[in-house]
């Protein structure tokens, strides 16, 4: 079967509420004799085996989702889904299902209020309410069937809920529960389980308030212990009364608050442990239960927040040295859970909550707790600190700057956090990763405030680099005193990688603070020692740190790198890596390629002068030969300053030219000997003094001779030369003659590479952009006259872009002057 419209994946829902893929096949609908009805069949596309055979039950609620998904429940806790490749196939099968059930295909769920039959609708409207059977042991089965049959219809659910509320029916059911337990009537207990579970699915707050009241909640939990699908009942009540202990770390005087805490714990337990995993359709029916727990937590936080005596006692005992360790651990755990509850609050209420904790002195208390030896207490305190940093990092920064005026560096809050990060005993450094994230948030300038009176960024970064940075970099400096890391185990490498990650962040986001620190403390040299680590991830972290510095293109950094010869560890690592094509190889090449592309002249010269012999044999990339070429171009400019100044003159005049009138252009042409650029070539007219031409031509000729000798070596490096000079890093020369006499008088230059007579030059026939002989003679009048070509550097491309593909014709007055001459 090749019809992609009917291509589907079959899913079933497992006990963990995850969808399991049962296979891919093609779906069809047909009458199955064995099932006595229209059924959905899915056959595997691989071998044709039957993946699904499901009868379309007239009473089953089918639901269409997202245009390509059909979901339904075959039995309790057995949900199925068909995921279609195409919407058309989903619509086709959906129409078949609706046809069997007599429903309108435009609906998304087949069992809904709008789909009730006219007879049911008439019965619902004519009957004012739902009459419940008398609450007796003998009628439990009838009650269970009534509850189950009411759940699919929203109107019947509503009437059932009203009947249960008005008649106090739940309390009567719980009385029967005690009778059934006393009589060990298992069948009755199973019916009660179904009834209570159905009442939960009615999703009514009024019913929850009755069920979760102090007198009823334990009996409700008892009913839910007798799940018919289990061979043995659960012991939920025994756990809640004997195993789970309520610890009152600070005496709670308000009985209402205490009752609310008990209730919330038990309802949370019902939701998480007692109730069976809800099906796809039942999940939405428990939304009110989620809301009930949520608002209970909000009330608890509010009531505790208003109890000033309670909070005062809490923080007093936390910071009291006389408090024993076990008690302190309970206090910290309570405060941690208190902060976790606050995450359910609305933003304005959460602001008030953290403001209250700040006023109570939570930060000084955390400072005391973090200085203790108990690892569990410190861990809980770290979690509390993370809530505070995420909520308001500025509040934390303000506190640490104030305490710096009174305390030594060793006991500052941020330094305690850094020390815990460094001393994390977890082999995977889970705690250290969390703390590094908090430090990153605190030093991030993006969330720092700037007011008219003060700038938080300036003040806090000044404080951090003075009082805290030495603590952060201590492990790095201690481990890089030699040419290779003194400790190179996995845990140390992970810690150093975390520190480097934060330092790299500082290089990117801080300005002179980190620059001064790196240069004064020689940090980069110490970091590059880690390039010799046996752990590739650490060596890459060190390289990334240097790459971030080079990426700033800051000459202060560049001079520091050159003075200390800090490319040496990188080159060593590159050579040690050999020809292996891995991340280290690519990262190092990318760094040198960045220097070449960005034309960082100082670093280019430094690398070629000091490391060219080590790198010249690398020919699988053109990066290093390209660097060498850049270096030679720079040296040529330095050797011939007249060429460089001539380019500058041309560029400056070309910018001014457009603003002049026609007469001004004529005057300019004769006074400054300037002419337009044609096809990206820099040209100047001959001067009145022939010796200037010779001065200019002499170094060019020398250069071209040198270039000719090295042509074979650089053949792979030099890109194709074109008129615009965009892709070529090489020099180009071109000469044009305004008159035949000029060409004759400069015969010595006519045979130079790049002259009109040389093959392959821009001006020669047969080359791109060349003109015919007659056209070139006309060009003597309309374009250039007796022009001497200059070196065209690649970085002149930006100025040349505006002149490409343009040709300026000289004014008539200029032609006349040429003819008269």
DSSP letter for 681, please.
B
What does the alpha-carbon distance between residue 484 and residue 596 come to, in Å, rounded to a whole number?
29
Distance of CA 276 to the CA centre of its chain: 36
Q: Decide: helix, strand or coil at residue 611.
A: helix
Residue 509, pLDDT > 50, answer yes
Residue 681 sits at φ, ψ, to 5 deg, of: -100, 135
Residue 565, pLDDT > 90, answer yes
666 contacts 813 by C-beta, under 8 angstroms: yes
Burial class (CB in 10 A: 0-12, 13-18, 19+), 400: buried
What does the alpha-carbon distance between residue 226 and residue 619 come to, in Å, rounded to a whole number?
77
DSSP letter for 736, please.
B
Partners of 37 in the beta sheet? 32
Q: What is the pLDDT of residues 703-757, one digit of tens each?
A: 455 545 555 444 444 443 333 333 333 333 333 333 333 333 333 333 333 333 3
SS3 content of the chain, % helix, strand, coil (to 5): 60, 10, 30
- Alpha carbon of 116 to those of 105, 120, 246, 679: distances in Å? 14, 6, 49, 81
Burial class (CB in 10 A: 0-12, 13-18, 19+), 140: buried
Residue 535, pLDDT > 80, answer yes
- Strand blocks (E) in 300-377: none
604 contacts 631 by C-beta, under 8 angstroms: yes
Residue in 706, 725, 702 with CA at minimum distance from that of residue 792: 725
| CA count, 13 A, side-chain hemisphere, 53 | 9
Region 674-687: what's the mean pLDDT? 40
Region 124-139: what's the mean pLDDT? 72
CA angle 311, 316, 320 (to 5 degrees): 155
What does the alpha-carbon distance between residue 402 and residue 400 come to, in Å, rounded to a whole number?
5
Q: What is the pLDDT of residues 15-48, one digit of tens each?
A: 766 677 788 889 988 888 888 888 889 988 888 8
418 contacts 439 by C-beta, under 8 angstroms: yes
73: phi > 0 → left, psi -120 to 50 → alpha, else beta; which? beta
Residue 805, pLDDT > 90, answer no
**Integer Rg of the chain from CA:** 42
Instruction: Please list, in sequence order, all residues whose beta carbon lies within 8 angstroms of the beta carbon of residue 60, skipping any fewer than 6 positions away.
Output: 72, 73, 74, 110, 111
Region 791-812: what's the mean pLDDT? 44
What does the alpha-carbon distance between residue 557 and residue 728 come to, in Å, rounded to a whole number?
30
Residue whose pair of structure tokens reads 């009834």 in the numeric block: 195
507 contacts 442 by C-beta, under 8 angstroms: no
Region 531-539: what's the mean pLDDT? 94
Region 151-156: what's the mean pLDDT? 84
Q: How many CB atoms lie within 10 A of CB 428?
A: 11
Name the token pair of 467.
Answer: 């009082």
The confidence score (pLDDT) of residue 527 equals 96
What is the full DSSP assignment across 239-268? IIIIIS----SS----HHHHHHHHHHHHHH
What does the alpha-carbon distance between residue 21 and residue 30 come to, in Å, rounded to a whole number?
24
Region 110-136: what's the mean pLDDT? 57
Cα torsion 83, 86, 91, 93 to 10°: value is: -60
Partners of 171 in the beta sheet? none
For 11-31, b/e burial (b = at least 16 CB within 10 A) is bebeeeeebeebbbbbbebee
The confidence score (pLDDT) of residue 17 equals 66
Q: What is the pLDDT of residues 289-309, one digit of tens each?
A: 888 888 888 888 888 888 888
pTM exceeding the 0.85 threshold for the entire prediction: no
The confidence score (pLDDT) of residue 566 equals 95
Average per-residue pLDDT for the chain: 77
Residue 788, pLDDT > 90, answer no
Name the token pair of 797.
Answer: 């491309």
Alpha-carbon torsion (306, 308, 314, 318), positive or negative: positive
- Among 207-221, 695-709, 724-738, the minimum mean pLDDT is found in 724-738
Cα torsion 771, 774, 777, 781 to 10°: value is: -90
Residue 550, pLDDT > 60, answer yes
Q: What is the pLDDT of residues 240-255, one digit of tens each?
A: 988 888 888 888 888 8
Residue in 277, 282, 276, 281 with CA at minimum distance from that of residue 72: 281
Name the token pair of 165.
Answer: 């509320």
What does the alpha-carbon distance between residue 738 and residue 734 come to, in Å, rounded to a whole number?
13
């Amino acid at each position: 079967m090749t019809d992609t419209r009917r291509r589907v994946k079959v899913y079933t829902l497992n006990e963990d509420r995850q969808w399991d893929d049962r296979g891919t096949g093609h779906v069809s609908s047909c009458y199955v004799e064995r099932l006595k009805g229209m059924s959905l069949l899915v056959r595997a596309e691989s071998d044709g085996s039957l993946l699904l055979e499901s009868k379309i039950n007239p009473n089953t609620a089918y639901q269409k989702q997202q245009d390509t998904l059909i979901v339904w429940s075959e039995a309790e806790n057995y949900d199925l889904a068909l995921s279609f490749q195409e919407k058309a196939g989903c619509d086709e099968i959906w129409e078949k299902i609706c046809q069997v059930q007599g429903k309108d295909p435009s609906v998304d769920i087949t069992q809904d209020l709008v789909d009730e039959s006219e007879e049911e609708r008439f019965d619902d409207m004519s009957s004012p309410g739902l009459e419940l059977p008398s609450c007796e042991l003998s009628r439990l089965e009838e009650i269970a069937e009534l509850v189950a049959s009411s759940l699919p219809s929203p109107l019947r659910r509503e009437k059932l809920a009203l009947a249960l509320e008005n008649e106090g029916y739940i309390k009567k059911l719980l009385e029967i529960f005690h009778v059934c337990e006393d009589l060990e009537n298992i069948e009755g207990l199973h019916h009660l389980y179904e009834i209570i579970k159905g009442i939960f699915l009615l999703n009514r707050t009024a019913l929850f308030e009755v069920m979760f009241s102090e007198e009823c909640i334990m009996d409700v939990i008892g009913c839910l212990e007798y799940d018919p699908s289990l061979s043995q009942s659960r012991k939920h009540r025994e756990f809640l009364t004997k195993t789970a202990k309520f610890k009152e770390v600070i005496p709670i005087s308000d009985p209402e608050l205490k009752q609310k805490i008990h209730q919330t714990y038990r309802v949370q337990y019902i939701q998480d442990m007692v109730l069976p995993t809800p099906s796809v359709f039942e999940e939405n029916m428990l939304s009110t239960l989620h809301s009930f727990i949520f608002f209970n937590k909000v009330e608890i936080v509010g009531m505790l927040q208003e109890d000033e005596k309670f909070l005062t006692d809490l923080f007093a005992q936390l910071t009291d040295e006389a408090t024993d360790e076990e008690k302190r651990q309970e206090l910290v755990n309570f405060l941690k859970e208190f902060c976790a509850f606050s995450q359910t609050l609305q933003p304005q209420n959460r602001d008030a909550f953290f403001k209250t904790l700040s006023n109570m002195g939570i930060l000084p208390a955390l400072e005391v707790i973090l200085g203790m030896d108990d690892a569990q207490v410190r861990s809980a305190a770290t979690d509390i600190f993370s809530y505070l940093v995420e909520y308001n990092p500025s509040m934390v920064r303000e506190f640490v700057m104030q305490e710096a005026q009174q305390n030594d560096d060793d006991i500052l809050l941020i330094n305690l956090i850094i020390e815990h990060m460094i001393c994390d005993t977890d082999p995977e450094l889970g705690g250290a990763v969390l703390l590094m994230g908090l430090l990153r948030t605190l030093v991030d300038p993006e969330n720092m405030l700037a007011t008219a009176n003060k700038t938080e960024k300036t003040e806090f970064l000044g404080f951090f680099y003075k009082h805290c940075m030495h603590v952060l970099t201590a492990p790095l400096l201690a481990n890089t005193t030699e040419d290779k890391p003194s400790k190179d185990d996995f845990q140390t490498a992970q810690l150093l990688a975390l520190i480097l990650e934060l330092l790299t962040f500082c290089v990117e986001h801080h300005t002179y603070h980190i620059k001064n620190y790196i240069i004064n403390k020689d940090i980069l040299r110490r970091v590059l020692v880690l390039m010799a680590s046996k752990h590739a991830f650490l060596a890459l972290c060190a390289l990334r740190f240097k790459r971030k510095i080079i990426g700033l293109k800051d000459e202060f950094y560049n001079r520091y790198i050159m003075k200390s010869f800090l490319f040496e560890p990188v080159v060593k690592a590159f050579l040690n890596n050999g020809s292996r094509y891995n991340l280290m190889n690519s990262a190092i090449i990318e760094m040198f390629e960045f220097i070449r592309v960005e034309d960082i002249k100082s670093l280019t010269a430094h690398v070629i002068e000091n490391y060219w012999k080590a790198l010249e044999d690398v020919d699988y990339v053109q990066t290093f030969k390209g660097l060498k070429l850049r270096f030679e171009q720079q040296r040529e400019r330095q050797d011939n300053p007249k060429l460089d100044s001539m380019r500058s003159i041309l560029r400056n005049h070309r910018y001014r030219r457009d603003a002049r009138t026609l007469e001004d252009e004529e005057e300019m042409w004769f006074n400054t000997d300037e002419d337009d650029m044609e096809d990206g070539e820099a040209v100047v007219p001959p001067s009145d003094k022939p010796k200037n031409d010779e001065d200019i031509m002499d170094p060019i000729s020398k250069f071209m001779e040198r270039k000719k000798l090295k042509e074979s070596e650089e053949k792979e490096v030099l890109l194709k030369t074109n008129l615009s000079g965009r892709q070529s890093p090489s020099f180009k020369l071109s000469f044009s003659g305004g008159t035949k006499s000029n060409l004759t008088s400069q015969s010595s230059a006519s045979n130079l590479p790049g002259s009109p007579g040389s093959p392959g030059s821009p001006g020669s026939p047969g080359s791109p952009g060349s003109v015919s002989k007659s056209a070139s003679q006309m060009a003597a009048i309309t374009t250039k006259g007796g022009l001497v070509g200059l070196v065209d550097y690649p970085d002149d491309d930006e100025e040349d872009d505006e002149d490409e593909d343009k040709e300026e014709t000289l004014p008539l007055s200029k032609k006349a002057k040429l003819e008269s001459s």
